[in-house]
Amino acid sequence: MSDVAPTLDILARLIAFDTTSRNSNLALIEWVEDFLHMRGVASRRVMNADGTKANLYAAVGPDVAGGVVLSGHTDVVPVDGQPWTSDPWVLTERGGKLYGRGTADMKSFAALALAHVDQMLAAPLQRPVILAFSYDEEIGCLGAPSMIAELAALAHKPAAVIVGEPTMMKVVSAHKGVRSFLVEVTGREAHSSLPDAGVSAVMEAVKLMNLVAEIGREARTASHAHFSPPGPTLTIGRVEGGTAANILARRCEFVWDLRCPEAAEGDAIEARFREVAEKLDAEIRSRAPEGGVKVTRRSMTPGLSIVRESEAEVLARTLTGDNDTRAVAYAAEAGLFQRAGLPAVICGPGSIEQAHQPDEWIEVSQIEEGAAFMRRLVRHLS
């Protein structure tokens, strides 16, 4: 346990920051800045537009090209309404497992990287390790692009990126892309006994929700190697609308997401949805000019494609000994790095099956395996 004690100390500090995506992450970022500053490591913030959140990156080692980026997001999903049996903001060990929001997804990876900074500083690194921590990953990978743009523009460009999402320390070579949409339907209120006197936004929105479900059923026939589910998936995550049972609803909105192995599939599905939405918009306006349908794309995160000979793939497989090819259905920031010209893979401690759950946990053995990975990385770069 002594080998991972520094990681657990740092993890406890990181878990204590409530960095649910609706909150600022600046307190955590300030703590990391101080941690690095005390070791003589300079860091750079990349702020959001209103200054309430920040990405942070820092290079440990020589200022040369070919560095390795260790990337993780600082935000976590809400705990609201979940039946936790211990405080989600207090790291708690029970039976070889560490409980707390973010233990699996994905503060353990950040803690491992930070816990090995002293070892990195003491080693004769020939290439740098670049720590990169982002905000707002959980709500659509909104924060990372501005930081990735700076990393990709560095005079001494990194050669590989390891995104530490939970993979049980196995190498993941691909992930689906995800895009999400807010659909706002506006109708006209009237008494429910007189449906022709108004337009029920809820009834009209149901038509579009049925379309999402229909496309989702059709997409199940698609097949892509390594992915499970193998094809595109469409889900509706939130619905709001209406005021009373006997009033035709003036407003209804819903949010849906689309996850695809290939961007072209996503483009086709989005185009099909928008075409139907435009026709429904015209139909509603013919009955209620103040009404209509508005479709807003909330997020669009590109997928990660398999590039078996990339420097990120070769490095991750060298460090783990893992030669299997894997793809995951969730989206991550790896696709953003790849699109910016920085080869990336996903490899981190813990299981995605524990992510977003009440009593989220990670096995201590996964921290131990992650620590061994970090030590091998330092040796490899020395």
Tell me the C-alpha distance between 68 and 159, whole Å.
6
**Distances from the Cα of 333 to the Cα of 50, 127, 162, 304, 346, angstroms:** 22, 23, 10, 9, 9
If residue 230 lies in a helix (H) or strand (E), which one and from where to where? none
* Residue-by-residue DSSP string for 272-299: HHHHHHHHHHHHHHHH-TT-EEEEEEEE
Tell me the C-alpha distance between 278 and 261, whole Å.
26
Residue 137 designated active-site: yes
| Residue among 18, 75, 204, 281 flagged as catalytic | 75
Q: Counting beta carbons within 10 angstroms of the beta carbon of residue 213, is it exposed (0 to 12), middle (13 to 18) or buried (19 or more)?
A: middle
Half-sphere exposure of 243 (CA within 13 A, CB side): 11
Residue 118 designated active-site: no
Angle (CA) 375-378-382 rounded to 5° is 140
- CA 102, 106, 108, 113 dihedral sign is negative
Q: Give the 3-state secondary structure of residue 236.
A: strand
Q: Decide: 329 and 228 in contact? Cβ < 8 Å.
A: yes
| Residue among 18, 33, 137, 333 flagged as catalytic | 137
Catalytic residues: 75, 137
